[in-house]
Amino acid sequence: MNPVKKLSVYQKAFQLSILVYKITKHFPKEELFSLTNQMRRCAVSVPSNIAEGKGRYSDKEYVRFLAIARGSLFELQTHS
């Protein structure tokens, strides 16, 4: 198993992205290229940045990617 997939924060973020996809599937079609797309991109950004940060070579880089993931969470929160 990929080491990042063992992280509980990654697992929760991944589950969040799945939940966002399930919820936005029921949004009106006219929102597909605006709100739906933006919420999905934010949601996918969270586990993606956690994984990318974990793959970096320094703790400083890891923390930077965690900050980006956190920012994506806040952005997602504004859309909900």
Q: Among residues 20, 9, 71, 11, which one has the least CA distance to residue 43?
A: 20
pLDDT at 37: 94
| Number of H-type helices and E-type strands within the chain | 3, 0
Please write the tens of the pLDDT for every residue from 17-74.
999 999 999 999 988 889 999 999 999 999 999 999 999 999 999 999 999 999 999 9
Record the pTM.
0.90
* pLDDT at 80 exceeding the cut of 80: no
- Domain locations in the chain? 40-80
Residue 26 in tokens: 């029921």
* pLDDT at 1 exceeding the cut of 80: no
